[in-house]
């Protein structure tokens, strides 16, 4: 077994990590203070299973859909119906079974280009939060989901790209992605991703062994910059852990 990050829960397989993540998400959104809950979704392929599970019997009736607002940690600057779009991936995974009120799915605008889209999404987040400065004592999100790229990126914060070091803006344009798909991206920055009661990395499969080992060796990869105002946990399956 490879060395794993602190606060890792090792699980048998991708099904187990998805079920555990669904239970954690339900816990977070049902324990949210006030009338609303906010979840920041990750993109790529790993979380599809989780999103479909949330819309399936045994889970769909337990999610307080009328209270939850869904945001995106990043997206590709492509039309919303493009196969590369994270919005499209989420909508397809939720399907018609998840009763998400249309005004509760807060897409990242992808039709204005990376710069304007980042500015617009930052305004959306500030409007929802009700302030222009994040207060560690009042996290923006009840849960932030993150994935891990084979190069150690997370969201669309890639090694060597300026957005990794952005600490003032809540959302950053990423004109050049560091990994496929090589399309411009828009990404929340690390201070915004950290404004959470819980940050959860979902990591499955042998392809993640390499970045996990580099992280455990203390290498300065973007994912190592992820922090949380609350908890930060890794759900990793045995295949990724080589266990
Ligand atoms: C994206 C994601 C990205 C993803 C990792 C892992 O838009 O691609 O936000 O950060 O989480 O690249 O992707 P997989 O889950 O497809 O391995």
226 located within any domain: yes
3 located within any domain: no
pLDDT at 173: 98
1 located within any domain: no
Would you say the CB of residue 233 lies under 6 angstroms from ligand 1? Answer: no
Which pLDDT band, with edges at 50, 70 and 90, does 96 fall under? very high
Which residue, by CA, sits nearest to atom 11 of ligand 1?
147
How far, in Å, from the CA of 50 to the mean position of ligand 1? Answer: 14
44 located within any domain: yes
Which pLDDT band, with edges at 50, 70 and 90, does 53 fall under? very high
Would you say the CB of residue 230 lies under 6 angstroms from ligand 1? Answer: no
Would you say the CB of residue 28 lies under 6 angstroms from ligand 1? Answer: no
20 located within any domain: yes
To the question of pTM greater than 0.95 for the whole model, the response is yes
2 located within any domain: no
How far, in Å, from the CA of 89 to the mean position of ligand 1? Answer: 12
3-state class of 82 per DSSP?
coil
227 located within any domain: yes
74 located within any domain: yes
Between vectors from CA 137 to CA 136 and to CA 143, what angle results, nearest 5°? 75
Which pLDDT band, with edges at 50, 70 and 90, does 193 fall under? very high
Per residue in 198-229, pLDDT (tens digit) is: 999 999 999 999 999 999 999 999 999 999 99
Residues in contact with 31: Cβ distance below 8 Å, sequence separation at least 6, in sequence order? 142
- The residue length of the chain stands at 243
DSSP secondary structure string, 76-105? ESS-TTSTT-HHHHHHHHHTTTS---GGGB
φ and ψ at residue 128, rounded to 5 degrees: -65, -40
The range of the structural domain enclosing residue 209 comes to 8-31+38-241
Would you say the CB of residue 142 lies under 6 angstroms from ligand 1? Answer: no
Whichever domain contains 86, its CATH number is 3.40.50.1360
Would you say the CB of residue 46 lies under 6 angstroms from ligand 1? Answer: yes
Domain total in the chain: 1
């Amino acid at each position: 077994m490879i060395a794993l990050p602190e606060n890792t829960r090792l699980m048998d397989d991708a099904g187990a990590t998805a079920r555990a993540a669904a239970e954690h998400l339900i816990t977070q959104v049902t324990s949210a203070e006030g009338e609303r809950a906010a979840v920041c979704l990750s993109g790529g392929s790993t979380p599809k299973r989780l999103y479909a599970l949330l819309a399936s019997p045994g889970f769909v009736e337990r999610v307080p859909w009328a209270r939850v607002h869904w945001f995106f940690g990043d997206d590709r600057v492509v039309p919303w119906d493009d196969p590369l779009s994270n919005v499209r991936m989420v909508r397809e995974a939720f399907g018609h079974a998840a009763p998400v009120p249309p005004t509760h799915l807060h897409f990242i605008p992808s039709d204005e280009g990376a710069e304007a889209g980042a500015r617009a999404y930052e305004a959306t987040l500030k409007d929802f939060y009700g302030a222009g400065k994040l207060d560690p004592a009042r996290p923006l999100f009840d849960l932030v989901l993150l994935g891990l790229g084979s190069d150690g990126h997370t969201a669309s914060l890639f090694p060597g790209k300026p957005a990794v070091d952005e600490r003032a803006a809540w959302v950053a344009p990423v004109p050049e992605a560091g990994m496929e798909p090589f399309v411009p991206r828009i990404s929340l920055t690390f201070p915004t991703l950290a404004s959470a009661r819980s940050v959860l990395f979902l990591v499955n499969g042998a392809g993640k062994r390499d970045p996990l080992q580099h992280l455990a060796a203390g290498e300065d990869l973007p994912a190592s910059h992820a922090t949380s105002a609350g908890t930060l946990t890794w759900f990793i399956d045995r295949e990724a852990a080589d266990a």
